[in-house]
Amino acid sequence: MKNDFRARNHPAYWAFIAHRASGLLLALFLPFHFWALGQALHGAEALDGFLRWTEYPLVKLAETGLVLLLAAHMTGGVRLLMLEFLAWRDWQMNLLAIAAGASLVAGLAFALNVV
């Protein structure tokens, strides 16, 4: 029991959770994304209506969250690839912090660009 708690409190475990959670949330977003793209099939007026809806602040906030999820999933995937194909070294633990920092930088950069 004690070892189980220690394993779940390890930074690698939280990196695993962040990678899986971001992947699941992105998968839940995909049907909505395809629906939005499908609006173009219904004509320019339908697409323009959808694009007007995307100007609301709450939608802009959700877009920022989406970019943060994409960045977290990408940096987590790159970290996993590095762990798979490179020899394990102590500095690789720093990849967790680098991946998290890169995700936040990407999300914040997008948020500043949207505002």
One-letter amino acid identity for 111? A
Q: Based on the number of CB atoms within 10 Å of its own CB, is 8 exposed (0-12), middle (13-18) or buried (19 or more)?
A: exposed
pLDDT at 96 over 80: no
Q: Where are the domains of the chain?
A: 2-114
Decide: pTM greater than 0.85: no
Q: pLDDT tens, 61-84?
A: 898 889 889 988 988 888 888 777
pLDDT of residue 58: 93
Q: Provide, rounded to the nearest whole percent, the portion of the chain with pLDDT above 70.
A: 88
CATH 3.30.70.1060 fits 2-114, yes or no: no
Q: pLDDT tens, 98-114?
A: 877 888 888 888 878 76
pLDDT at 1 over 60: no
